[in-house]
Amino acid sequence: MDIKNIDETSFTVVDVETTGLSARNERIIEIALVRVENLKIVDKFSTLINPQRPIPSFISMFTGITNSDVKDAPLFHQIFPVILEKTENSVLCGHNLQFDLSFLRNEVQLLGDDFNPIHTLCTLKLARKLFPHLKSRSLGPLAYHLNIKAKNSHRALGDAETTAKVLIKLIKHLKENENIETLEQLLAYQSGMKTFQSLKIKKELQNDFYSLPNAPGIYYFLNSRNEIIYIGKAKSLRERVKSYFSSNADSRVRKIIRQAKRLHHLITNSELTALLAEAESIKVQNPEHNKMLKGYGNKYFIKVLKTKSAPHLDITNKFDFDGCDYFGLYHSKRDAQKIVEFINKTFAIRECDDREFLKSRPCFLFDIQRCTAPCIGLESNLTKHNEELEEVYRFLNGENQHAMNRLLNKMKFFSEQQMYEKAAEIKHLIDFLMEEIHKSSLLSEPINKAKVLIEIISPIGNDYLVLFDGKVFIKGYLYDNKNKFEEILDDFYSNTIQTEILPSEEDLEKLKIVLQWLIKNRNRVKVFYLKDYRNRQELFNKLSNSDFSEEKIIQIKSDPIYDFNI
């Protein structure tokens, strides 16, 4: 960061209007940007945006923006270049900025990109520190308190202009009353972070911090003997390390800063490769202050017990090559249980344990058509069970339309028979299918059999990794000196795979880290099944085609679309 005088700093105030309050589920319908230079408003920009979904009536009443207003408005990806241009070389500002920024980040992530301004400033945070006794510090009351006339409230440009005027007055107040003259001091005041001068930070460490990029990667704190004392990872190196200099940092962090003389970093293409590099670097270096390495062992799989004559489902946090198939990853046992409960209520497969199964007589689940009774030993019953199990596989692989059709037919039947409680139960299952199941189905193969190349879209550079029978191979990985990524692809297409080498515990831990991240960040992920390509060159041609920015926009991975016309 340059030690820049506030009067020489450019600020861009942003305000968005949206279809709702959840950045993950809603979209932007209007955006405004107001540029402030030399503590004066110098430029304004605003536009409506087509959210590609209906605007709720209460939002139209609140903002005055209707569906007809946005019908012919540009899509977000069409105005994103303008946003980048307008915010370039400036501090991004807003009132309750986290709200606006969360929507912007979500929109940009849907394009397979990232939006991480180098510096951000929130007038709400400043107001809370400056006016702690003010009853309300929302934009309207705050503007009134500062003798600013708010115009066109609840429209993006009106609110952005008001916020810009508030910003100017707050900065002037801070200059006069808090002796804040530089951008560093202003940002430190906002976050409660102490300046380097007050913290007595070593000059080398200050310079290392200023060199940090706003990019994913891993960082190393080193002591005066050039020993690594702490390793961390970050989605944004600058933002993460900045928190170490906060006035409310815990005692462990303060101890690291006292001992540290230098700060080194390594940029990675994505947060995932930063996660993996951090975990492996800690194991290799064993730094003094990395005592607690985050564990991933409490994640769960759904296991299909294929070793049984009539396979059924189980939940496990273990992963093995035991002849069974594994699906997941699920963040908690309850998440996995909900999927299994859904499967048992939707498909007629065995639910009983071995003791009950060996009694060789149908149970009440057969009477209510929730099981085909493979226990009685008849070939026809076992065949029906296996057919149901095939449907379960399709469902776990993400092919959910058949399950939807089955449920809709059941609900229709119960409604026609005036069995409304039963129909309501089916409706709950349909709601679950719509809301939950897409969160975990990433691959159309069991994890233990998956042979896929995964492309992770990142603005710095895409990451590529191969999942192969429980092992993970990453292109250009920090700890891959033998170029195993290229090797596994060569072996696959030349049919020289050594199938007897099973994944180690380290491989399985790495697999869990990868699966957890991929499921959370599915909008940035493209999956290529190795079997779909005749050779490596054909696969690489597909990858090179996917690097064009236009294709990134149109190849967004979306949630399943269901046909309700049964």
On the question of pLDDT at 469 being above 90, the answer is no
Region 181-203 average pLDDT: 74
CB atoms within 10 A of CB 96: 16
Q: How far out from the chain centre does Cα 195 lie?
A: 32
Q: Are strands 91-94 and 11-18 parallel, antiparallel or unpaired?
A: parallel
Q: How confident is the model at residue 200 (pLDDT cuts 50, 70, 90)?
A: low
- Give the pLDDT confidence score for residue 499 in this predicted structure: 57
Q: Which residues lie closer than 8 Å to 326 by C-beta, 6 or more apart?
A: 301, 302, 303, 304, 316, 319, 446, 447, 448
78 or 415, which is more confident: 78
* Neighbour-count burial for 548-557, b at 16+ CB within 10 Å, e otherwise: eeeebbeebb
Q: What size, in residues, is the chain?
A: 566
Sheet holding 451-456, edge to edge: 471-474, 463-468, 451-456, 525-529
pLDDT at 104: 96
> What is the biggest distance separating any 2 CA atoms in the chain, rounded to whole angstroms?
89
Assess whether 154 carries a catalytic annotation.
yes
For the cut 70, the answer to whether the pLDDT of residue 168 exceeds it is yes
Instruction: Choose, from 77, 119, 145, 154, the residue flagged as catalytic.
Output: 154
Pull the structure tokens for residue 63: 């903002």
Q: What is the pLDDT of residue 27?
A: 95
Q: Which of 117, 47, 126 is nearest to 82 (CA)?
A: 47
The encoded tokens of residue 20 equal 């709702």
Average pLDDT over every residue of 62-90: 94
Kindly state the tokens that stand for 314: 């189980």
Residue 237 has pLDDT above 80, yes or no: yes
Percent helix, strand and coil across the chain, each to the nearest 5: 45, 15, 35
The pLDDT of residue 218 is 94
Cβ atoms of 446 and 325 within 8 Å: the answer is yes
pLDDT of residue 562: 38
Closest to 297 (Cα-Cα) out of 321, 327, 336, 329: 329
Mean pLDDT of 451-469: 89
Residue range 288-311: average pLDDT? 77
202 vs 8, more confident: 8
Domain boundaries, the chain: 6-191, 203-285, 300-440, 450-541
- Helices and strands, number each (H, E), in the chain: 23, 15
What is the tens place of the pLDDT at every residue in 515-546?
888 888 887 888 999 999 999 888 988 885 54
User: Letter for the amino acid at 154?
Assistant: H
Cα 296 to Cα 317: distance, rounded to the nearest angstrom: 10
Per the DSSP assignment, residues forming a β-bridge with 461 are none
| Structure token pair of residue 14 | 């942003």
User: Structurally, what CATH architecture does the domain formed by 203-285 represent?
Assistant: 3-Layer(aba) Sandwich (3.40)
Q: Which two tokens stand for residue 566?
A: 């049964």
- d(Cα 173, Cα 449) in Å, to the nearest integer? 63
Q: Do strands 313-316 and 300-304 pair parallel, antiparallel, or not at all (unpaired)?
A: antiparallel
The dotted CATH code for 6-191 is: 3.30.420.10
Residue 557 — very low, low, confident or very high, per pLDDT cuts 50/70/90?
very low
Q: For residue 368, what are its two tokens?
A: 């209510």
Q: How confident is the model at residue 549 (pLDDT cuts 50, 70, 90)?
A: very low
pLDDT number for residue 21:
87
pLDDT above 80 (res 61): yes
pLDDT tens digits, one per residue of 474-513: 998 888 777 889 889 999 999 887 655 677 778 888 888 8
The yes-or-no verdict on residue 187 having pLDDT over 90 is: no
Q: Sorting pLDDT into bands at 50, 70 and 90, what band is 166?
A: very high
Q: What angle do CA 309, 313, 317 make, to 5 degrees?
A: 125
pLDDT confidence of 162, banded at 50, 70, 90?
A: very high
pLDDT in the model for residue 555? 33
Joined tokens for residue 161: 């202009």
What's the pLDDT tens digit per position in 16-59? 999 998 888 899 999 999 999 999 999 999 999 999 999 998 89
pLDDT digits (tens, 9 = 90+) for 344-365: 888 888 888 888 888 888 888 8
> How high is the pLDDT of residue 438?
55
Q: Which of 93, 119, 90, 87 is nearest to 9 (CA)?
A: 90
Per-residue pLDDT tens digits for 392-439:
888 887 776 777 777 788 788 888 888 888 788 888 777 776 665 555
Q: Is the pLDDT of residue 311 over 80?
A: yes
Q: How confident is the model at residue 195 (pLDDT cuts 50, 70, 90)?
A: low
Instruction: Give the model's pLDDT for residue 565.
Output: 42
What is the DSSP code (8-state) at residue 316? E
| Mean pLDDT, rounded, of the chain | 84
Which amino acid is it at 396? L
Please tell me the number of Cα atoms within 13 Å of 523 on its side-chain side. Answer: 13
Question: pLDDT by residue (tens digit) across 80-135?
Answer: 999 999 999 999 999 999 999 999 999 998 887 888 888 899 999 999 988 888 88
| 529: Cβ contacts below 8 Å, ≥ 6 apart | 444, 445, 451, 452
Helix/strand/coil for 244: helix
How confident is the model at residue 26, as a pLDDT?
Answer: 92
Predicted confidence at residue 40, as pLDDT, reads 95
Sign of the four-CA dihedral 352, 357, 359, 364: positive
Copy the structure tokens of residue 104.
């912007």
The predicted pLDDT at position 380 comes to 86
Give the other-Cβ count within 10 Å of 316's Cβ: 15
Backbone angles phi, psi at 248, to 5 degrees: -105, 20
In this predicted structure, the answer to whether residue 279 has a pLDDT above a threshold of 60 is yes
